[in-house]
A and B are shown apart, each in its own frame.
Chain A
Amino acid sequence: MIVIQTSHLSRKFNDVMAVEDLNLEINEGEIFGLLGPNASGKSTTIRMLAGIIQPSGGSARILGMHLGKQTEQIKPDIGYVAQHFSLYSDLTVSENLEFYAGLYRVDNAQTLHKQLSRFELHRYAKSIAGHLSGGYQRRLAIACATVHNPKVIFLDEPTAGIDPVTRKDLWDLFYELVSDRKTLFVTTHYMEEAKRCNRLGFLSQGKLITSGQPDEILASLDNYRVYSAELPYHPATNRKIVAATGVILVNQFGNELRIVTDHRTSQENLESVISAGIDTKLKLEQVAPGIEDAFMVLTQDDGKKCS
């Protein structure tokens, strides 16, 4: 069943197209990840879908209901976790939860209790929300946004600024929600999180560049090769590699140099360029492309980028 469907959804702020011609279909029970750099239009998209920003073009249906015409009917069925901590920091954890429960006419003490333990918040029930650590604030925000048992949950960068251990815990929570047949729409700019999603969309400058399952997206990189070499940062050589024909992307990870190329060059060619630069024979190793490679290649405009 298709839960979220957008058709040519667009939003213009003054003269800037924040989101342009977005077409998406998201199925029930999946985690859809919208990936994109900062200012790519992720938050605008999610806010439009949550009904708090009006689209300037196109349309969307959530759970079969028309966004805009039936926004108020959609609201009880969706949960939304904003990017910034948007709870009452002077209220306690349970006061926050009770308040949001009240907004959705949930007054069952058992539900609240379950929600607290599900998000491991019961120990902090009496703590002031503003005093919680970033990870627990995020848990509380998600607990509040899902207290009414919504069918669709929108999470705007739920793991931004969160340490890897807590991030993993949060993702465990997301999987638990999905196992309840809920649909999650997540935005992130963490590439390593992309693989955790069932399906992905790449957003760049407001446009959807590609979408599909992570494997499908990686498979679309068949025309590209990714090489890796043990080589510390060497500015002059890096510049030479970037300038070489067929090189799409040069990316330094500590002592690892990662190069993405298309068919116009070969491993031998590259090796000779590098060897000439550093005066030593260097062996490149072809590796499997990752999501980050895919993202950077696919969102690349005409010019090459060296990062």
Chain B
Amino acid sequence: MQLIIALARKEFLHLRRDPRLIAFILLMPLILVTLFGFALKLEPENVKMAYVDEDQSVFSNLIKTNIWSEGYFDLYEVENSMEILNEIRLGRARAGLYIPRTFTAELVENQQPVVSMFIDGTMPSLATAMDNNSTAITDDSVTTDMYFSDPEEPAQIIADDPFLLEIKTLFNPDKIETWFFLPGVIGILIMQVALILTSTTVVRERENNTLEQLLVSPLTRSQFIVGKVAPYILISLLDFYAILGFSWMVFDLPQPGSHGVLLLLAITYLTALISMGLAISTISETQQQAIFISIFVLIPSILLSGFIFPIEAMPGYIQPVAYIIPFTYFVDIIRAILLKGNVLSELIMQFLALAAFSILFISFSIFRFRKTLT
């Protein structure tokens, strides 16, 4: 027993000598639980819905007004029905509504006009929620005033519903969860490998005293950083395609519209991750700290990126956090190219964001990595 206490006591002494580690052990869970407690909701409010109302009648207004008053969808008008699809494809809207020109005409004739609703199927949970909330379009408060009877004839039984709602799920029509999860999971696996591998790489040289020997050599700071980054980009790239290849074979994941764009995504995403890992390595004093910081980065990246929990479901003040996470852009791009068939020109902003991360983290690492000790 005494021996166990002696050993246990020594472990506490080690911890006490590493105040940063104590901070990570105590503060990290607190920060994360606060963040997630406020941020994570599966059910968003104000889901963006692009609409075209060609009818522009009292009746079509009834539908829109009810959607507004229910508050789940946030309606905005676009030019034509093609625009609706485009808005969803570009991720600006999650849903769309199309009311045809003949709506009122058919309504008064009891011909059951068709109203179309479009749903983005790339996030199945959200798609299902939108599906459930489509009742805002068809519920009684809308339809009560839409029943017409012929004044010449005695009251007749008319169709159950004055109009029909046709829901079309786009991009992942069967709402296959695997298609939704898998691209993100690939990103997470790669993030884990890349971050842990790189975040320990500089600090390991320091811990093993090998950094000193590198510092006396003519190696420049930039050469050091690039030499450290390059091999891990290559390794993670191989890893990325291995996982992706497996997913194509086993899980029937859709092929991208362009393999070039996919490769570009892999390279920019991995460069951003590895630069981030390197930046972590330059601020860590021990390998243990580096791994802790990596995990500290990893968990919020997964949860706040819109991968599982829609960003629009987060409170407004937390949403900006999602946009400082490289993984957010990765998930966005990979879903766009695998499921929605977006082309490069539509994804420029996301690619630029990823490139900006790389530049930022690499510059930071070069700045942090001094060619002298202490």
Contact = CB atoms under 8 A, between A and B. Distances in A.
Interface of A: 13, 47, 50-54, 71-72, 75-76, 78-80, 82, 84-89, 100, 103-104, 144-145
Given A80-B213, A80-B216, A52 B208 contact: no
A122 to B, nearest CB: 22
Given A53-B372, A53-B374, A144 B217 contact: no
Lowest 3 CB-CB distances: which A-B pairs, in order?
A86-B209, A80-B216, A103-B217
Interface of B: 208-210, 212-220, 371-374
Contacts of B212: 47, 52, 80, 82, 86
B208 A86 contact: yes
A23 to B, nearest CB: 23
A50 B216 CA distance: 6
A167 to B, nearest CB: 21
B213 A76 contact: no
A51 to B, nearest CB: 6
Nearest to A145: B213
A145 B210 CA distance: 12
Contacts of B217: 75, 100, 103-104
A52 B218 contact: no
B213 A75 contact: no
Nearest to B216: A80
Given A52-B371, A53-B372, A86-B208, 9 more contacts: A47-B373, A52-B212, A52-B215, A52-B372, A82-B212, A86-B209, A88-B208, A100-B213, A144-B213
Contacts of B210: 86-88
Given A52-B373, A84-B209, A87-B210, A76 B218 contact: yes
Contacts of A88: 208, 210
Contacts of B371: 51-52, 71
A86 B220 CA distance: 19
The CB with the most chain A CB atoms within 10 A, among B208, B213, B217, B219, is that of: B213
Nearest to B219: A103
Contacts of A72: 218, 220
Contacts of A47: 212, 373
Contacts of B214: 103
30 contacts: A13-B374, A50-B216, A51-B215, A51-B371, A52-B212, A52-B215, A52-B216, A52-B371, A52-B372, A53-B372, A53-B373, A53-B374, A54-B372, A75-B216, A75-B217, A79-B216, A80-B212, A80-B213, A82-B212, A86-B212, A86-B213, A87-B210, A87-B213, A88-B208, A89-B208, A100-B217, A103-B214, A103-B217, A104-B218, A144-B213
A110 B212 CA distance: 27
A79 B217 CA distance: 8
Contact of B209 (A71, A78, A82, A144): A82
Nearest to A150: B216
A75 B372 contact: no
A110 to B, nearest CB: 21
A78 B213 contact: no
Contacts of B219: 103
B295 to A, nearest CB: 25
B21 to A, nearest CB: 23
A86 B214 CA distance: 10
B369 to A, nearest CB: 13
A192 to B, nearest CB: 27
Contacts of A52: 212, 215-216, 371-373
Contacts of A51: 215-216, 371-372
B341 to A, nearest CB: 46
A84 B210 CA distance: 9
Contacts of A82: 209, 212-213
A50 B214 CA distance: 12
B218 to A, nearest CB: 5
A85 B207 CA distance: 12
